Amino acid sequence: MRPDPPVTLKDVAALAGVHPATASRALNLETRPLVSGETAKRILAAADSLGYRPNTVARSLRTRRSHTVGVLIPDLTNPLFPPIVRGIEDRLAADGYVALIGNTDSDDERERLVFERMRARHVDGFVCATAHLSSPLLAEAASAGIPVVLVNRYAKGYGFPAVSVDNERGIGLAVSHLVSLGHRRIAHIAGPQDVSTGLLRYRGFTDAMAAHGLAVDPALVAHAAAYSLEEGDRCCRALLERDLGCTAVAAGNDMLAVGCYAALETAGLSCPRDISVVGFNDMPFIDRLRPPLTSVSFPHYQVGTEAGRLMLELIAATGQHGAVPGDHAEILYLAPELRVRGSTAPPRAPDAS
Amino acid sequence: MRPDPPVTLKDVAALAGVHPATASRALNLETRPLVSGETAKRILAAADSLGYRPNTVARSLRTRRSHTVGVLIPDLTNPLFPPIVRGIEDRLAADGYVALIGNTDSDDERERLVFERMRARHVDGFVCATAHLSSPLLAEAASAGIPVVLVNRYAKGYGFPAVSVDNERGIGLAVSHLVSLGHRRIAHIAGPQDVSTGLLRYRGFTDAMAAHGLAVDPALVAHAAAYSLEEGDRCCRALLERDLGCTAVAAGNDMLAVGCYAALETAGLSCPRDISVVGFNDMPFIDRLRPPLTSVSFPHYQVGTEAGRLMLELIAATGQHGAVPGDHAEILYLAPELRVRGSTAPPRAPDAS
DNA sequence: TTGTAAGCGTTATCAC
DNA sequence: GTGATAACGCTTACAA
């Protein structure tokens, strides 16, 4: 079976007995008012009967709008991202946009590569969940006037809108919870300090401790090189080896927290009996682990839909006059909630602070 | 800051003092041999100094190749898919392709919508993980000569290559394992029968039971309307209510199996003490549930990379003469392996079959 | 209200 | 080996 020859605007115009330009006008909602109702009807009927589908590529070449958005994430297999990406896709789809997806593994080179590739395909904007605090890509996008929406992470100074959880408040909830259980010597496994979440949660941790009148023992802070199970495991071991009598760990995110589970098991310790663990993100299925992880939650899917919305607004705004993107950049902080589960309990032998 | 004006082929040609056509030839590897080494070098230098990036959209219009592939999946938030999608994306990226992603929720209308949208964007092919056993989309793609690779599911008669696990053998492993533990009355929660996995695993289940000389009590087969936790819960309840003394459940996939956990808990039963449960897919993190789920495993990521490979081959082949896609359709069955974990144990009171 | 014509950036097909 | 020219399918001033 040989491919059917694609039907073009010219075919539709011919069948309707009008000029292609007229057909184009009738087929586009914005310009439809320009053509008489009579001919418009004829054209639409013709298009319909031929099964006409506009060639987006040609249109894109002309209008410099592809109705396509690039989505940059570190790694789709990190359970945090699927709901976010779905949210983005759903919101974009509602307006006729489609999403190009690219995993970067937080690798600058790979990030650059997918960025370039998407740019070459004339994406109308980027939703970016990979932003390091300083990123040449963002600078480039800014100077090229490409809309960017930051997700989950924030980067200063580019004037891009962002959607994210209130990290400092979130980790504060975790600390308060642990303190209220009676914990005093609380450790923190900090995420990478070159991404906003790592930095803000670390800062939030020290602030929250201070607010509770607790000193932060620097030895009770471990620094993870990445948000991974392995790093969580490694950092937790390091903390245990220091033998500083900590009774709880507030981890920088869920992966690090689950990494702690492994370290505790290796050390023959029980969670939460010996050590309480709190995560951050409340990833899907994390409530079904053994033990169910207490974690700081926020609406992932909604992060995606909000990011999609901001992107669409940004694209629309960029169309207008010489609109400077980022003029009135909207930064959205979604409220965190603590989901208390089985990984936290009062310390074994509460020490009077 | 005003957007930099994009540099085009004409600019490069001008700087190099050649005609745009020549510049084009020099810039494309396939046609580079046509131009003298001297001028080629000059052109490349010019392109480099200007930071030239080919406009893929324009190229696409001309060549009818977008170097873009549409990926259709039911739902990205189903943990089975992220590794597969990553595999696809990684393989495609290695050849300069990017992936458009679309969630369909197994909804025909939505599927049609994203399909059309991607088609309008001139994707070079579709990797499709949503195929029902009969799908108008597939027929349409086939007749339009659009390359399609089926993933995880199979659909007969279109001649499309497919990558999937050997479902019948997989469920056979599960049954053998349960039988060897001493189970005789084994229930099956069958997935939707209009998708290949549901059908094949069901068939595989009855075959395997027969091979062990065990009768399949029809009342011990429950039919799930979807691969969801809710349906697993519902089906498992139904099975329990029938009170037929089953001691083990071989579920159609992991979601259904985890749904069983909920039903068992509600019924005050313990897994694996009262009822053993086996899943299928070995989703990420499923080994960390309570109890860790025994499941039929296969290499998800590799499913993705193989699908990507097949897609690239198909695209390459379609380029040639009037190659009929699906002539030598390659069907890849990856080998399943059983991961035995804490959700299976000998029955409480083994009944002599 | 509709037609004309130019052009988006590239590549394919001719000549030279 | 290189240049000229047309064309991919569509939109959009401008003209009628």
Q: What is the DSSP string of A220-266?
A: GEEE-SSSSHHHHHHHHHHHHHHT----EEEESSHHHHHHHHHHHHH
Instruction: With a cut of 90, say whether residue A222 has pLDDT above it.
Output: yes
* pLDDT band, very low/low/confident/very high, at B229 (cuts 50, 70, 90): very high
Give, as ranges, the nucleotides of chain C with any atom within 7 Å of a protein CB.
1-5, 7-13
**Among chain B residues, CA nearest to A104:** B90
**Among chain B residues, CA nearest to A53:** B120
Asked if B167 and B177 count as a contact pair (C-beta separation under 8 A), the reply is: no
Instruction: With a cut of 90, say whether residue B327 has pLDDT above it.
Output: no
Interchain pair B288, A289: CB under 8 A: yes
Instruction: With a cut of 70, say whether residue A2 has pLDDT above it.
Output: no
Instruction: With a cut of 90, say whether residue B209 has pLDDT above it.
Output: yes
Angstrom distance (rounded) from CA B97 to CA B95: 6
What does the pLDDT average to over A142-159? 86
Q: Which of A55, A89, A116 sits opposite B101 (nearest CB)?
A: A89
Interchain pair B3, A143: CB under 8 A: yes
Give the least confident one: A99-108, A213-222, B129-138. B129-138
Residue B62 approaches strand C within 7 Å at CB: yes
- Please write the tens of the pLDDT for every residue from A278-328: 999 999 889 988 899 999 999 999 999 999 999 999 998 876 544 444 456
Bridge-based pairing state of the strands B68-73 and B337-339:
unpaired
CA of A59 to C1' of D13 (A): 17
> CA-CA-CA-CA torsion for A122, A125, A131, A136, nearest 10 degrees?
50
Instruction: With a cut of 90, say whether residue A352 has pLDDT above it.
Output: no
**Among chain A residues, CA nearest to B323:** A2
CB neighbour burial string for A80-108, b if at least 16 within 10 angstroms, e if fewer:
bbbbbbbbbbbbbbeeebbbbbbbbebee
CA distances from A345 to A244, A262, A288, B150 (A): 19, 18, 17, 48
* pLDDT band, very low/low/confident/very high, at A58 (cuts 50, 70, 90): very high
Write out residues 46-65 of B within 8 Å (CB-CB) of A.
53-58, 60-61
In this predicted structure, what is the pLDDT of residue B351? Answer: 46
Instruction: With a cut of 60, say whether residue A351 has pLDDT above it.
Output: no
* pLDDT band, very low/low/confident/very high, at B49 (cuts 50, 70, 90): very high
* pLDDT band, very low/low/confident/very high, at A350 (cuts 50, 70, 90): very low
Interchain pair B93, A113: CB under 8 A: yes
Residue B132: CB atoms within 10 A of its CB come to: 17
Distance from the A214 Cα atom to the nearest Cα atom in chain B, whole angstroms = 34
Residue A34 approaches strand D within 7 Å at CB: no
List of chain A residues whose C-beta atoms are within 8 Å of the C-beta of residue B91 = none
Amino acid code (one letter) for B49: S
What does the pLDDT average to over A213-230? 94
Side-chain-facing half-sphere of A250: CA atoms under 13 Å: 33
Interchain pair B55, A289: CB under 8 A: no
Angstrom distance (rounded) from CA B292 to CA B258: 10
Angstrom distance (rounded) from CA A73 to CA A87: 14
Residue A38 approaches strand C within 7 Å at CB: yes
DSSP B112: H
Residue B137 approaches strand D within 7 Å at CB: no
Q: Helix B300-319 and helix B81-94: axis angle, to 10°?
A: 40
Instruction: With a cut of 60, say whether residue A78 has pLDDT above it.
Output: yes
In this predicted structure, what is the pLDDT of residue B141? Answer: 87
Q: Which of A56, A100, A142 sits opposite B120 (nearest CB)?
A: A56
Nearby residues of B285 by Cβ (< 8 Å), 6 or more positions away: A79, A285, A289, B79
CA distances from B197 to A276, B76, B157, B200, B289 (A): 41, 18, 17, 5, 24
Angstrom distance (rounded) from CA A298 to CA A336: 5
